A and B are shown apart, each in its own frame.
Chain A
Amino acid sequence: MRNTTGFKVFRGVTLTLLGLFTLIPLYAMVSSSLKPLADVQGTFTWWPTNLTIQPFIDMWSTVPLARYFVNSLIICTCATVASVILAIIAAFAVSRFRFRGRGVFTTTVLSTQMFPGILFLLPLFIIFVNINSATGIQLVGSYFGLILTYLTFSLPFSVWMLVGYFDSIPKELDEAAMVDGCGPLGALWRVVLPAARPGVIAVAIYSFMTAWGEVLFASVMTTDENRTLAVGLRQYSTYQNVYWNQIMAASLVVSIPVVIGFLLVQRHFVAGMTAGAVK
């Protein structure tokens, strides 16, 4: 493509409009988080006249935000670690072995992405409730239930991306390692994984993001014990008041870790997607 005048105009217009569309909500979020409550209850103002960081202080006491934060952190970290490990092992099998049912596995796993979440939300809820009444193992309202659920959400796409990554690593490398006495798992650990590290990091961040932003299952499977941020943030709207400034402050704070993580690995993300799509 050439940088003709026509193209430059197209580029300028497109990028300006999309930039505004993207940035205005982000600006509304940041600027409103710096306003006192009275200012967000009146007509919207573009420029905050009474700048304050009070919302960032009050938000921890209006709602037990710290507890939700810790809950989310525990659940998402455990789900991510488990999901990445399972994805690595499965992707290694798909990438390095030719076996019957290989295609069926990838298709089935990917097609679970297609199911409406609502379809297995109701049964899963009932199954968890019944497991609880039969064995006493509490799954609704516990970390464990959500960890189990979340780790499977990112699994299909993680496997898909990692297969692409692993395929791009020459097989000769791990064959050499196996000749030198490594088992297949040794080759995975010592040769394939170090070479695929950016892919693994991208997949880990993707898994964490998926779990961190999940709303549907969190809204049903959490009680006061394990409430995550996704549901907890709703509690800033009470019958008396909607603390919009604190909601925006809290949204900002809970977003920062995942946004930074994602932006840091976006390159590998793109590479992983191409690797997966090229197959």
Chain B
Amino acid sequence: MSASAIREDDQATTALRSKVTTTKKKKKARRPSPRRSRWLPYLLLLPAVIMELLIHIVPMLVGIWMSFIKLTKIYIANWSAAPWAGFQNYAIAVDFDASIGAALLQSFFVTAAFSLLALGISWGLGMAAAVALQQPFRGRGLVRTIFLVPYALPAYAGILTWNFMLQRDTGLVNHVLVDNLHLTGDRPFWLLGGNAFASIVTVAVWRLWPFAFLSLMAGLQSIPSDLYEAAAVDGAGNLRQWRHITLPSLRPVNLVLILVLFLWTFNDFNTPYVLFGNGQPAGGDLISFHIYNASFLTWNFGIGSAMSVLLLLFLFVVTAAYLLITRERNTTPKAASKPAPKAPARTEDSHA
């Protein structure tokens, strides 16, 4: 604001005076500029880079190193004395016949199933809600606000509430299923055994779907409405419009969203930790939770680190494959984003 005022002032002054001031400024700006502007961006990035190195990159490298030493309880405060283990920790982690490896493999499959389910359901619900709220109507703002509350809640507050609701004798879920709807005779346990899987998927979806909704809603706002109008003129119903306009337009959002949801769910620690506490039900033994327990129960950080590195490798491979596949598709010619002009005047999915 002051900048434009000064500029106007400059223009208003006599040519001579403006000449003097500009040369003066030029001189002042030019002297340090070539060197400074080359180094300045790096200088500006430095604090962020140092923090990232300190808290993420260096510990990660240390973690890789830790996976190669016998870092048991005795050596935790004096790790330089820990003996070299080679690939021994890895051998233990992937020996699927022994108990440690078998448990890890089981946890991996549970996590993969959990991640895919939670990701798919969250995306579906987020998409449904975003499309339902695409058109303005009375109360739209209120509905959107309500939907976002689970995402805004601190993780532990939401999960603790679900923990309470899933209690066998005092919880809301069994009250509804058994007392209100009479679906089952005896009260099932939701936080133990196999049922824990259904519970953890539900809780994760409850917390995650608003994020999908938020992202997709943001994406929908950037679709020009005349695209829909043109499609409507061509006789495309709502479902066709969604398939041929909404979905292709949301592609960039979806690419990021699906990857982020996958990584978040696969690495989810909060949900099992707060939901199950010290119990480790087979159905809810997500891999981060599993490694955490394996490490801090036995204080064998070497094996824990080896498991973490394997997890990182797996996520790295999946992410790289995902990016490669999606990029390949990006380079192939795009499918027409408009419905075919020859579309039948009214399809069954249009309206009555």
Given contacts A43-B175, A44-B175, contact A120 B55 (CB under 8 A): yes
Q: Which residues of A contact B152 (CB under 8 A)?
A: 209, 255, 258-259, 262-263
State the Cβ distance, A225 to closest chain B Cβ, in Å. 19
Please name all residues of chain A whose beta carbon is closer than 8 Å to the beta carbon of B269 when the two chains form the complex.
117-118, 215-216
In whole angstroms, what is the CA distance A133 to B28 when docked? 51
Given contact pairs A1-B241, A116-B312, A14 touches B274 in the complex (Cβ within 8 A) = no
Residues of B within 8 A of A24 (CB): 172
CB interface residues, A 248-279, toward B, < 8 Å: 248, 251-252, 254-255, 258-259, 262-263, 266, 269-271, 273-274, 277-278
Instruction: Tell me the residues in window 141-183 of chain B with beta carbons closer than 8 Å to chain A beta carbons.
Output: 143-158, 160-162, 164-165, 167, 169-172, 174-175, 179
When A and B form their complex, what is the total count of cross-chain residue pairs whose Cβ atoms lie within 8 Å?
321
Residue of A1, A251, A255, A271 ringed by the most chain B CB atoms within 10 A: A1
Supposing A120-B59, A184-B40, A270-B214 touch, asked if A19 and B143 sit within 8 A by C-beta, the answer is: yes
Does B192 sit within 8 A of A, measured CB to CB?
no
CB contacts (< 8 Å) of B150 on chain A: these are 22, 25-26
In the A-B complex, the 9 residue pairs with the closest CB atoms = A4-B351, A213-B154, A93-B44, A262-B152, A120-B59, A97-B41, A251-B157, A44-B175, A123-B59
Extra pairs beyond A42-B170, A113-B260, A120-B56 (7, CB < 8 Å): A43-B179, A45-B175, A97-B37, A133-B78, A209-B152, A216-B270, A271-B218
B-side interface residues toward A, CB under 8 Å?
1-4, 6-7, 25, 28-29, 37-38, 40-42, 44-45, 47-49, 51-52, 54-60, 62-63, 66, 71, 76-79, 125, 128-129, 131-135, 137, 143-158, 160-162, 164-165, 167, 169-172, 174-175, 179, 206, 210, 214-215, 217-219, 221-222, 228, 232, 237-238, 241-242, 252-253, 256, 260, 263, 266-267, 269-270, 273-274, 277, 287-288, 291-292, 295-296, 301, 304-305, 308-309, 311-312, 315-316, 319, 349-352
